[in-house]
Amino acid sequence: MKIIEDFLKQYNKEFDYYQKLSQSVANKIEDQLIKRGIKAEVTYRAKRPDKLKVKLIKRDIEKKYESLEEIYNDIVDLAGVRVSLYFPSERDIVDEIINEFFHVELKKTFPIKSIQPNNSKRFSGYWAVHYRIKLNKESYSKRYYEPNIEIQVASVLMHAWSEVEHDLVYKPFAGELSAAECSILDEINGLVLSGEIALERLKSVIMNRTKQNREITNQYELTNFILNTIDKNYLNKIKLGDTYILNNYLNTIKKLNTHELDLYLHKINIDSEESITDQLLNMFLVDFYDKDKTNLKKFFKNLNLPDNIILISESYVKCWIVLEKAFNDFQTKTKISSDKYLSPDFKILVAQNILTIEEANQLKHLRQERSYLLHGKETSTENYLNSSLNTLKGLTKKTINQIPTESTKVILNKELDNLLY
């Protein structure tokens, strides 16, 4: 018992540390869920010392702890985060987030084995995914690197049932449960599983309403439409991405309907490193540039960028669109075509002696800069962005002037000269 008492004394001093650690993880997950348009409740906690004591006493019977280190290695949920999803099938998107932003030590899916109905238990129990993770070193301060954090992902209904079941079955402070009590818990589990099916049906009905109305009115409808339209097998190979950014763009053009969006979704290239939303945004930017002369100022304003950066960002993105249009002219001549999205491969321009290898590498870097701007991540100074824009203009001008069709060359040069910045 002394080793447990010593551990609890130390843990009481560290309680705020674990609370802040779990809060940091919860905030990151919640932020990413919002960006993806996923409805969920994200909660966090450091394990309460009184509950921890009960757990340690029980586990010590089997483990027979001999050091503080043994206890730290054994208790992996001192910091815990719970993600309670409105729609159970969106666990795959949470999995995408967790694997992108944290180092996953262990992933456990429940139920571990399919439970066959019997007289005492007819339903399969707890459906969830648990992760044991560590923070990525490049993203957090050094003092948070080492501890494990447990993340539990399940539906709001399943979490509610598991709380009741766990406290009654595994922490039976009022004695062992009777057969009748266990039967009622099993019955409630059946209702919860039926409720999850109903939630998925609700999601499908929302999708059908969106299709019938032929318009998407908010980010959540956009996310739901994409997830229900895209081939389910694709989601294991490609990330969904940031639907907030995509919805922001769609709000600026106010033109695209669900039928058109469906056509673009069928162009998604699962072999691309770019997410679904990034591919869609890239296609929209080029395809709608001539039709609508999109006001990107409003788009960037919604990302809360400073006014001076907004002006540069708008010109930067428009300049890139002009470059892509010039590039597409050369790509057509090389007979590279596909019904799927293809990001610009500037090696084609190198092969045609239009750009040098160094210039193609510059464009690769400038494209990354453009991606940061579109996602509102830009932290560069105004002078740096100005310099990057001037470089981009120069390479775009050089590419345009190699176009053999004079009329196309004149049109694109005019577009380049008309940039705001």
**SS3 of 387-407:** HHHHHHHHHHHHHHCCCCCHH
Peptide bond into 344 cis (omega under 30): no
Distance CA 353, CA 349 (A): 6
Whether residues 231 and 141 fall in one domain: no
Does residue 194 fall inside a structural domain?
no
Q: Which residues are CB-contacts of 111 (< 8 A; sequence separation ≥ 6)?
A: 124, 125, 126, 127
Q: Beta partners for 154?
A: 84
Nearest to 330 by CA among 357, 355, 294: 355
pLDDT (0 to 100) of residue 293: 57
Whether residues 254 and 403 fall in one domain: yes
Q: Are 298 and 371 in contact (CB under 8 A)?
A: no
Residue found under tokens 């995408």: 96
Give 34: exposed, middle or buried? Use CB within 10 Å, 0-12, 13-18, 19+.
Answer: middle
**Angle at alpha carbon of residue 29, lines to 28 and 33, rounded to 5°:** 120
Distance CA 398, CA 17 (A): 56
Q: What is the pLDDT along the chain (421 residues), one digit of tens a residue?
A: 789 999 999 999 999 999 999 999 999 999 999 999 999 999 999 999 999 999 999 899 999 999 999 999 999 999 999 999 999 999 999 999 999 999 999 999 998 765 555 556 768 788 999 999 999 876 665 566 678 999 999 999 999 999 888 777 765 555 688 888 888 889 999 999 999 999 999 999 999 999 999 989 999 999 999 999 998 888 888 999 999 999 999 988 887 889 999 999 999 999 999 999 999 999 999 988 876 556 788 899 988 888 889 999 999 999 999 999 999 888 766 655 678 898 899 999 999 999 999 999 999 999 999 999 999 886 678 999 999 999 999 999 999 999 988 999 999 999 999 886 6
Whether residues 234 and 139 fall in one domain: no
| Residue finishing a domain among 130, 156, 182 | 156
Whether residues 146 and 242 fall in one domain: no
Does residue 199 fall inside a structural domain?
no
pLDDT (0 to 100) of residue 173: 55
Does residue 288 fall inside a structural domain?
yes
Does residue 388 fall inside a structural domain?
yes
| Residue finishing a domain among 123, 156, 189 | 156
pLDDT (0 to 100) of residue 119: 52
Identify residue 38 by its one-letter amino acid code. Answer: I
Task: Please give the residue range of the domain that contains residue 285.
Answer: 220-417
pLDDT (0 to 100) of residue 22: 96
Whether residues 403 and 258 fall in one domain: yes
Whether residues 244 and 130 fall in one domain: no
Distance CA 187, CA 180 (A): 10
In this structure, how many other beta carbons lie within 10 angstroms of the beta carbon of residue 365?
Answer: 11
Q: E strand or H helix at 134, and its extent?
A: strand 128-135
Whether residues 385 and 273 fall in one domain: yes
Whether residues 151 and 283 fall in one domain: no
Does residue 208 fall inside a structural domain?
no
Q: Which residues are CB-contacts of 406 (< 8 A; sequence separation ≥ 6)?
A: none
CATH number (domain holding residue 14): 3.30.460.10
Distance CA 31, CA 310 (A): 23
Give 288: exposed, middle or buried? Use CB within 10 Å, 0-12, 13-18, 19+.
Answer: middle
Whether residues 37 and 123 fall in one domain: yes
In this structure, how many other beta carbons lie within 10 angstroms of the beta carbon of residue 363?
Answer: 22
- Counting the structural domains of the chain, the total is 2
Handedness of CA 8, 10, 16, 17 (dihedral sign): negative
Whether residues 149 and 244 fall in one domain: no
Distance CA 52, CA 8 (A): 8
| Residue finishing a domain among 115, 137, 156 | 156
Whether residues 261 and 394 fall in one domain: yes
Whether residues 273 and 354 fall in one domain: yes
For residue 312, what are its two tokens?
Answer: 């540069």
Q: Strands, DSSP E only, in 79-123?
A: 79-85, 102-110
Does residue 301 fall inside a structural domain?
yes
Distances 389 to 15, 146, 395 between C-alpha atoms, Å: 49, 42, 10
Does residue 169 fall inside a structural domain?
no
- The reported pTM is 0.86
Nearest to 128 by CA among 97, 93, 82, 166: 82
Distance CA 420, CA 318 (A): 9
Distance CA 64, CA 179 (A): 33
Does residue 196 fall inside a structural domain?
no
Residue 390's Cβ-side half-sphere holds a number of Cα atoms within 13 Å equal to 6
Distance CA 144, CA 18 (A): 9
Helix, strand, coil abundance in the chain, percent, nearest 5: 60, 10, 30
Nearest to 57 by CA among 3, 120, 118, 19: 3
